[in-house]
Amino acid sequence: MGINTQALMAQLLVGLINGSFYALLSLGLAVIFGMLNIINFAHGALYMMGAFVAYFLLSIFGLNYWFALVLAPIIVGAFGMILERTMLQRLAGLDHLYGLLLTFGLALIIQGVFQNFFGSSGLPYAIPTALQGGTNLGFMFLPTYRAWVVVFSLTVCLLTWFLIEKTRLGAYLRAATENPTLVRAFGVNVPRMITLTYGLGVGLAALAGVLSAPINQVRPLMGADLIIVVFAVVVIGGMGSIMGSIVTGFMLGVLEGLTKYFYPEASNTVVFVFMVLVLLLKPSGLTGRAA
């Protein structure tokens, strides 16, 4: 069997792009879970909101992609912080599962409202002019925008890792994850930190939404199926380590890309099958520390 390098490279690139989204989303889920003990089912809906905010900024205010890249995560993050302050906060001390149920309800509401106004079809969002076109690398054609998405996502992921693992703020955050009462006794405003953490996680999801808008079109249900794949990614990687989330996200994207080339029928299911294998062979997940 001959291997078509062009097609293989193209699928690998698609895999890396999906991997970027998996990494950004599972990273946000892990950060939120660490502080709030909640699995944020609304993550897919908030990712979709990020893409819609980018679309509105362009079509209503004439603000282009670069503004959206900064503003959409802030706007959606602020929306997330309102959700946290008004609703999620009341779940403190209850079983984790209530957080899942509440955020599932929020996802239904957000997606339902957008579906009512925009139907189920996609709205186009053009690639910004600076990132149009591509480069012929000889063995493959590399579209500039796609390369940008991978590099930018990776940078954001690593910055988040740096923020949490290497800075003073991150140290407070990790300490509050371990023992919130003690950290409060040291005079750190833990409830505010929890709200900001939720905002950060949600902002990462919205950022992924903006990045995906020119590639996948802007659709109300664009996050609905994605979030289930991301859950599988989280089960595979475990939520114990930030770097683990990033690596697992990119790795599974590439695995999916390879499957699209070698056995396209299984490309929808390969991540789930991989999850089953991991659970059978190493139940605690690849990075180990999961409960």
According to DSSP, the residues that pair with 218 across neighbouring strands are 123
| 46: contact with other proteins by CB under 8 A | no
**Which tokens sit at 80?**
């997330």
Q: Which stretch binds other proteins (CB under 8 A): 7-15, 61-69, 74-82, 221-229?
A: 221-229
- Contact pattern for other proteins over residues 247 through 286, marking x by CB under 8 A: ------------------x--xx--xx-xx--xx--x---
Q: How far is the CB of 63 from other proteins (least distance, A)?
A: 28
| 79: contact with other proteins by CB under 8 A | no
According to DSSP, the residues that pair with 97 across neighbouring strands are none
**Which tokens sit at 177?**
């994850």
Interior angle at CA 165, CA 40 and CA 160, nearest 5:
55
| 91: contact with other proteins by CB under 8 A | yes
Rounded CA gap, 82 and 159, in Å? Answer: 25
Contact status, residue 53 vs residue 125, Cβ threshold 8 Å: no
Q: How far is the CB of 19 from other proteins (least distance, A)?
A: 17
Q: Which stretch binds other proteins (CB under 8 A): 71-79, 98-106, 171-179, 196-204?
A: 98-106
Q: How far does CA 225 lie from the centroid of its chain? A: 13
Nearer to other proteins, 232 or 246 (CB): 232
- Of 17, 23, 30, 39, which lies in the binding site for other proteins, with binding defined by CB under 8 A? 39
Residues 280-285: contacts with CB under 8 Å, at least 24 apart: 284/238, 285/235, 285/236, 285/237, 285/238, 285/240
| 82: contact with other proteins by CB under 8 A | no
Nearer to other proteins, 14 or 252 (CB): 252
**Which tokens sit at 251?**
């790795």
DSSP-derived secondary structure letter, 135: E
Contacts to other proteins by CB under 8 A: 33, 39, 87, 90-91, 93-98, 100-102, 104-113, 115-116, 224-225, 228-229, 231-232, 234-235, 265, 268-269, 272-273, 275-276, 279-280, 283, 290-291
